[in-house]
């Protein structure tokens, strides 16, 4: 009886060992999320993320390489101190104290920091299964310019089509250009792309709901890495112009604030006009 019990538990142990072995050999430590920005400007601090899942096999080491050259390693160890080591390589100034096994910070990147970044994770014994993921970072030295919006007309009538172009003035790279109409994303069909990478068009109907107190505010945003520059244009309704004409016929009274200003001007000019007669 006791013999049977022990052979039974032996069998269970054997089964568990087998399952662990199979699971370990197929899974290992997995990279679950690699985040390397695709673009940055010279002088930026750039954070690289390499997240891994070590539920099935503990981490033996995690290393970062740029174009095949190692610049960071993390080797956890139970009996020795954990090693977090930054190796100097050309174009990389690792902020060692801010870096950890899941996040590495590169201080003040330069053009030479451009390259192919690889995170490599090795699982613990007995398999030492190695996995890696790579992504390319481009670093530019030209600062981001405010884009230019063209095509705005002086006034629009309701249901007119409003057609604008936004063009980047950068020559070294193509920033991402996006539009907003009254701070909201336009519909996909209202955005025109494809002429060249530096210009994005906008084409939408000036519906009555679009004019807020007679004005539609359109922004074009240029973005590269974490940098954003915005151009703004205000589009006025013909209706508003007509209203202002009735208010005093003064030119340049475009915004709400100006309407008040125009009325004040008329009020002060009226007695003057009387005096001159």
Question: Do the Cβ atoms of 61 and 74 come closer than 8 Å?
Answer: yes
Residue at shortest CB range from ligand NAG: 151
Per-residue CA distances from 220 to 13, 177, 229, 240 (Å): 65, 7, 8, 24
- Between CA 9 and CA 12, with CA 10 as vertex, the angle to 5 degrees is 60
Q: For ligand NAG, what does the binding mask look like between residues 149 and 188, x meaning CB under 6 A? A: -xx-----------xxx-----------------------
Which of 109/200 has CB closer to ligand NAG? 200
Q: How far apart are CA 91 and CA 112, in angstroms?
A: 5
Least separation in angstroms between CB 201 and ligand NAG:
5
Least separation in angstroms between CB 250 and ligand NAG:
30
Which residue in 119, 106, 13 sits closest to 59, CA to CA? Answer: 119
Which of 195/245 has CB closer to ligand NAG? 195
Q: How far apart are CA 49 and CA 263, in angstroms?
A: 59
From 118, 168, 170, 237, residue interacting with ligand NAG (rule: CB under 6 A): 118
Question: Do the Cβ atoms of 72 and 49 come closer than 8 Å?
Answer: no
Which of 43/151 has CB closer to ligand NAG? 151
Which of 111/193 has CB closer to ligand NAG? 193
Per-residue tokens: 22:
């199979």
Per-residue tokens: 227:
């940098």
Least separation in angstroms between CB 68 and ligand NAG:
6
Per-residue CA distances from 121 to 94, 98, 133, 192 (Å): 19, 20, 9, 43
- Under the binding rule (CB under 6 A), the answer on residue 134 touching ligand NAG is yes
Residue with tokens 């230019």: 148
Q: How far apart are CA 75 and CA 104, in angstroms?
A: 14
Residue with tokens 């299964």: 129
- Under the binding rule (CB under 6 A), the answer on residue 55 touching ligand NAG is yes
Which of 44/120 has CB closer to ligand NAG? 120
Least separation in angstroms between CB 134 and ligand NAG:
4
Which of 120/244 has CB closer to ligand NAG? 120
Q: For ligand NAG, what does the binding mask look like between residues 190 and 219, x meaning CB under 6 A? A: -----x---x-x------------------
From 85, 116, 143, 243, residue interacting with ligand NAG (rule: CB under 6 A): 116
Q: How many residues bind ligand NAG (CB under 6 A)?
A: 14
Which of 128/195 has CB closer to ligand NAG? 195
The rounded Cα 180 to chain-centroid distance in angstroms is 16
Which residue in 119, 144, 175 sits closest to 42, CA to CA? Answer: 144
Least separation in angstroms between CB 237 and ligand NAG:
19
CB atoms within 10 A of CB 35: 12
Binding region for ligand NAG (CB under 6 A): 53, 55, 116, 118, 134, 136, 150-151, 163-165, 195, 199, 201
């Amino acid at each position: 009886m006791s013999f049977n019990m022990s052979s039974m538990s032996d069998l269970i142990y054997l089964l568990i060992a087998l399952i662990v072995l199979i699971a370990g050999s197929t899974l290992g430590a997995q990279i679950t999320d690699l985040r390397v920005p695709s673009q940055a400007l010279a002088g930026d601090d750039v954070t690289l993320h390499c997240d891994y899942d070590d539920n099935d096999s503990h981490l033996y080491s995690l290393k970062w390489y740029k174009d095949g050259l190692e610049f960071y390693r993390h080797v956890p160890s139970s009996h020795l101190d954990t090693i977090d080591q930054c190796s100097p390589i050309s174009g990389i100034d690792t902020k060692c104290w801010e870096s950890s096994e899941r996040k590495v910070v590169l201080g003040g990147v330069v053009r030479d920091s451009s390259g192919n970044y690889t995170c490599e994770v090795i699982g613990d014994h007995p398999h030492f299964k190695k996995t890696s993921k790579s992504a390319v970072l481009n670093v530019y030295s030209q600062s981001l310019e405010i884009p230019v919006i063209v095509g705005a007309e002086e006034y629009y009538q309701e249901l007119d089509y409003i057609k604008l172009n936004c063009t980047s003035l950068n020559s070294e790279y193509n920033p991402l250009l996006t539009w907003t109409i009254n701070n909201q994303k336009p519909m996909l069909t209202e955005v025109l792309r494809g002429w060249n990478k530096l210009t994005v068009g906008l084409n939408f109907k000036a519906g009555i709901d679009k004019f807020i107190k007679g004005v539609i505010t359109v922004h074009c945003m240029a973005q590269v890495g974490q940098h954003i520059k915005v151009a703004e244009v205000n589009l006025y309704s013909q209706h508003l112009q007509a209203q202002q004409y009735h208010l005093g016929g003064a030119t340049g009274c475009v915004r709400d604030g100006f309407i008040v200003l125009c009325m004040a001007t008329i009020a002060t000019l009226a007695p003057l006009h009387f005096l001159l007669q």
